[in-house]
Amino acid sequence: MIRFGYAWTALVSATFHRLWWSLHSLLLVFPAAAICLFVLRWRGRFPQQEPEQIVHTLSLFTEVVVIYMFASFLVPVVALSFGTTGLGGDREEGTLVFLLTRGIPRWSISLGKLAATLPLVVVFTVAAYWATCRLAGPAGQLAWQAFLPPLFWGAVAYGCFFHLLAALVRYPTIIAVVYALFVETLLGNLPGVIKQLSISFYIRSWIYRIGEPWGVEPPSTFLPISAAGCAAVLMSVAGASVLLSLWVLQRKEYIEKES
Amino acid sequence: MNDLAPRDDSAQVVFDRVTRFYGPVIGLNEVSFTLPPGVTVLFGANGAGKSTVMRLASGQIRPSLGRVQLLGRDAWSTEAKRHLGYCPDVDRFYEEMPGRDFVRLMVRLQGYSPRQARHLAEEALARVDMVHRAHRPLRTYSQGMRQRIKLAQALAHRPQVLLLDEPLAGVDPGGRHTLLELFAQLGDEGRCVLLSTHMLREVESLARQVLVLVQGRLVAQGTLEQIRQWLDDQPLLLALEADQQRPLARELIGWEEVLSVQVEGPRVLVRVQQAGSFYQKLNHLAAQAPWQLRRLEPLDVGADAVFRYLNQRP
């Protein structure tokens, strides 16, 4: 057990260190900074002295910043970037062989990679959201408390799902980008129930439900499900992805390409 | 210090009627062998199945049929891998990491504490002569240095079974000599070393056993001597030098052991079958003939010839 602990800790810390100091981390600062700058400019155009003004601003902030910039863009991008490179980086670089021939259970390699990846996804998302809400003034402070749960669980669900893709396919980044474009963007915005195949549907549903008292309304073609239902689906996606990724890595053969 | 791998003579790798398919393609065909402690050379051309053997033995893939065991455990299992050191043929690393950190990380992934990992990594780096160069990032290394780091990570945790896939690729001649000494040393320590190569001549001196793979089949197994003995009855090319070539050639052409005779300058090239019987008759002839036999030189009894012969089998 102690041996396993040493090995697993080494795997998590090495993966975290590599991801933290990677180009991905640096590149992700730019979209987050762009959103912050947008909010900074936008704030001046919406006075927030009166309660009605705050509610009106919150409604707009939710629609534009929380739903379109965070739920539909930044959260999946951050999750895709880190989620596919934790385990997927080793697959693409061909270094997974060094891990698979060590005396640690294969499933624990998947879990270790996820344990290093998920905190980065969550911390990056939450930190960017916190900074944005701070810059948005009183409406932002209300939005911070209200919409953190859907964004948090959305980041977790996306992170775990992209990690599963990394366990399943050799080039997970490409597949994840295709998935994000077709399933999340295209299907996620189609009328009807087909959009329920996308993770973003449940994040947006949850946000709309929370935002109802402030007049945040979904488009007429978007029929949100209950907040509890959204939470259950996002947690289930995360849990199922984790379990499936452990099972896949435990069972799957990985044949590295010849140099 | 954590418990180290047991070192006894029962340590071995077992392939028991192993077949491995890659889709419809057969990569390995009913291969059986046992590896004792010491150096065993796995020899074959590219595509012969060497890498499949290595991947099966290192538990990266599973056999389609048969079983592969390391020290009595399924090679796929975590327990088997605790006693395994694997030097893959792929040249991939965490490029930004210094060589020393990479070796330490690999030792830590075997379950050693940071302090133990430091000690074992330094020991391994010393064995591959990389102590003073291990502080540099891996991306700055030459091919030979990268090979040494791969070896260091394989042997750092002192495994009982070492699988070295083309470990001399890209290493300069001086470095090769050092590494060959290291492999011999590891074998002498009682470790089971399986070394794959397509350059048998280089490593034949340290091989306790040679496995020859051709098109996924194990076609020969044993010491080089045993394999040569087995080849004794197989066609062999000899060069004879006598003071009169044509009478010698005329004499030989009628022998049942002789397949062909060719006079080439001062030499008579003879392709023979049943070399043992041929040598006996030739001795007899040399003693009685009016001409003098000056020299007899087998042209293909070296290890490469063994391979050449085996590769040409129908």
The pLDDT, as a whole number, for residue B53 is 95
> A44 vs B214, which has greater pLDDT?
B214
Residue A64, number of CB atoms within 10 A of its CB: 13
Does B107 reside within a domain? yes
Among A6-10, A54-58, B134-138, name the one with the lowest average pLDDT: A54-58
B162 and B264 belong to one structural domain: no
Cα distance between residue A16 and residue A118, in whole Å: 10
> Strand B13-22 vs strand B25-35: parallel, antiparallel, or unpaired?
antiparallel
| pLDDT over 50 at B7, yes or no | no
The pair of structure tokens assigned to A123 is: 């911390």
pLDDT of the residue at B195: 93
pLDDT at A195 (0 to 100): 83
Q: What integer pLDDT is reported at residue B46 of this predicted model?
A: 81
> Tens of pLDDT along A209-220?
999 888 888 888
**pLDDT value of position A216:** 85
pLDDT category at B303 given cuts 50, 70, 90 is low
Q: In the listed set B214, B229, B244, which residue is the last one of a domain according to the structure? A: B229
- Please judge whether B90 and A10 are an interchain contact, meaning their C-beta atoms are less than 8 angstroms apart: no
Phi, psi of B135 (to 5 degrees): -85, -15
Q: Do residues B138 and B274 share a domain?
A: no
Helix (H) or strand (E) holding A179: helix A172-179
What DSSP designation does B98 have?
B
With CA atoms as reference, the chain B residue closest to A91 would be: B92
Which CATH number belongs to the domain containing residue B261 in this structure? 3.30.70
AA identity, residue B67: R
Contact B109 A11 (CB under 8 A): yes
pLDDT at B3: 37
Contact B36, B9 (CB under 8 A): yes
pLDDT digits (tens, 9 = 90+) for A57-82: 888 899 999 999 999 999 999 999 99
> Are residues B269 and B290 located together in one domain of the fold?
yes
Q: In 3-state terms, what secondary structure has residue B299?
A: coil
pLDDT at position A250 over 80: yes
Q: What is the mean pLDDT of chain A?
A: 90
pLDDT given at position B87 = 94
CA distance B218 to B240: 34
For the ranges A157-171, B74-88, B288-302, the lowest mean pLDDT is seen at B288-302
Are residues B124 and B261 located together in one domain of the fold? Answer: no
pLDDT for the residue A221: 81
Does residue B308 have a pLDDT over 80? no
Chain A's closest residue to B115, CA to CA, is: A6
Among chain B residues, CA nearest to A12: B109
Percent of chain A with pLDDT over 90: 60
pLDDT at A22 over 50: yes
Number of A–B residue contacts, CB under 8 Å: 87
Q: Give the CA distances from residue B239 to residues A68, B116, B243, B252, B271, in Å, rounded to whole numbers and listed in that order.
A: 84, 59, 13, 12, 9
In angstroms, rounded to a whole number, what is the distance separating the alpha carbons of residues A80 and A78? 5
Query: Which of B70-74, B126-130, B148-152, B232-236 is predicted least confidently?
Result: B232-236
Per-residue confidence band for B10, with pLDDT thresholds at 50, 70 and 90: low
Question: B50: distance to nearest CA of chain A, Å?
Answer: 12
Q: Assess whether B16 and B60 both reside in one domain.
A: yes
pLDDT at A131 over 70: yes
Q: Is B178 domain-assigned? A: yes
Chain B residues close to A103, C-beta within 8 Å: 78-79, 81-84, 109-111
Mean pLDDT within B6-10:
48
Same domain for B280 and B179:
no
**Hey, where are the domains in chain A?**
2-46+53-251
Q: Provide CB contacts within 8 A for B1, sequence distance 6+.
A: B116
**DSSP state, residue A35:** H
Confidence of residue B245 (pLDDT cuts 50, 70, 90): confident
B94 and B153 together in one domain = yes
Task: Look up residue B262 and give its amino acid.
Answer: Q
pLDDT confidence bin for B307, thresholds 50/70/90:
low
Top pLDDT among B311 and A88 is at: A88
User: Is the Cβ pair A259, B89 closer than 8 Å?
Assistant: yes
Residue B179 structure tokens: 């590494």
Residue range B272-299, pLDDT digits in tens: 887 778 888 888 888 888 888 888 887 7
> Predicted confidence band at B1 (pLDDT cuts at 50, 70, 90)?
very low
Q: Band of the pLDDT at B9, cuts 50, 70, 90?
A: low
Tell me which residue range forms the domain holding B258: 233-299
The minimal CB distance from A6 to the residues B62, B83, B111 is found for B111
Residue of B51, B89, B108 with shortest CB distance to A6: B108
Which residues on A lie below 8 Å from B81 (Cβ)? Answer: 101-103
Per-residue confidence (pLDDT) for residue A54, from 0 to 100: 83
pTM for the model: 0.82
Last residue of a domain, one of B190, B205, B229: B229
> Is the separation of the CB atoms in B83 and B2 below 8 Å?
no
Residue B311 lies in a domain: no
A98–B106 CB contact, under 8 Å: yes
Q: Which of B229, B247, B262 is the last residue of a domain?
A: B229
Model confidence pLDDT, tens digit, residues B106-123: 999 999 999 999 999 999
| CATH number of the domain bearing residue B141 | 3.40.50.300
Residue B229 has pLDDT above 80, yes or no: no
Lowest mean pLDDT across B52-61, B66-75, B88-97: B88-97
Do residues B50 and B186 share a domain?
Answer: yes
- Give the pLDDT of residue A259: 42
Residues B29 and B174 in one domain: yes
Q: What is the ipTM of this complex?
A: 0.86
Give the total number of structural domains in chain B: 2
Taking CA–CA distances from A257, the nearest residue in chain B reads B90
Q: Are residues B217 and B287 in the same domain?
A: no
- Please check whether residues B93 and B219 belong to one and the same domain: yes
pLDDT at B4: 36
Confidence of residue A56 (pLDDT cuts 50, 70, 90): confident
Residue B134, in any domain of the structure: yes
